[in-house]
Amino acid sequence: NAGVTQTPKFQVLKTGQSMTLQCAQDMNHNSMYWYRQDPGMGLRLIYYSASEGTTDKGEVPNGYNVSRLNKREFSLRLESAAPSQTSVYFCASSLTRGELFFGEGSRLTVL
Amino acid sequence: QKEVEQNSGPLSVPEGAIASLNCTYSDRVSQSFFWYRQYSGKSPELIMSIYSNGDKEDGRFTAQLNKASQYVSLLIRDSQPSDSATYLCAVSRGGADGLTFGKGTHLIIQP
């Protein structure tokens, strides 16, 4: 049972490049989330999907897009990466009442 | 603006003693409260959840909630060096719109 799987785990981009972070969960959870974690800023919610077919903005959505491909998969896309998007990105899923289960994280550096 | 405040630490506690971690939150409609543990370079791991006023015990961990004071705490009894980590307090309104996290308290258990 893998839980929440994120790919890639590490990525280096140049400013202006695009990329997609992939996330899949095998726990049959309804809700999925993308957070970023920066030193001194804590975990901040980028986007979430309460259920298959829906997505909503979180606290810091600018510069990102998401797709809830099906119940298992929730991807995060950076269309034109900026140095300010250098961060560790965590995908998480939840069945109910807010108990989030996190993936291992994706460390992104934008030069 | 929903805010969750924690003392960043580091909080240094001798092995075998009780570690006390505190958290305050600003959103009065918060319904669900969580403590996550995060080791350096790893993803957050859920260790406790609490939904009603009072104490909730799970092994060496006790979560305490006082909604009137908007205060959540985590006690770790018989602290072990393996408890050294950053502890994140998180709150939710109870829906599927994700958790708001504090910036975390860095706990060091001294052998």
Q: What is the mean pLDDT of residues A43-68?
A: 95
Each residue of B14-70: pLDDT tens digit? 999 999 999 999 999 988 999 999 999 999 999 999 999 999 999 999 999 999 999
B98:A40 CB<8 A: no
Which segment of A11-15, A98-102, B20-24, B75-79 scores lowest on mean pLDDT? Answer: A98-102
CA pair distance B5, B103, nearest whole angstrom:
7
Q: DSSP readout, A30-51?
A: SEEEEEEEETTTEEEEEEEESS
Alpha helix (H) ranges present in chain B?
none
CA pair distance A91, A5, nearest whole angstrom:
8
Residue A41: pLDDT above 90? no
> B67 CA to chain A: closest CA distance, Å?
17
pLDDT of residue B51: 94
Chain A residue numbers with beta carbons less than 8 Å from the beta carbon of B46 are 99-101
pLDDT of residue A1: 63
Chain B residue numbers with beta carbons less than 8 Å from the beta carbon of A35 are 98, 101
Each residue of B58-92: pLDDT tens digit? 999 999 999 999 999 999 999 999 999 999 999 99
> Is A14 part of the contact surface with chain B (CB cutoff 8 Å)?
no
Residue from A23, A97, A106 whose CB has the most chain B CBs within 10 Å, to mutate: A97
> Is A101 part of the contact surface with chain B (CB cutoff 8 Å)?
yes
Write the CB contacts of A29 (distance below 8 Å, at least 6 apart in sequence): A93, A94, A95, A101
Chain B residues near any Cβ of chain A (below 8 Å): 32, 34, 42-46, 49, 51, 88, 90, 92, 94-104
> B89 CA to chain A: closest CA distance, Å?
10
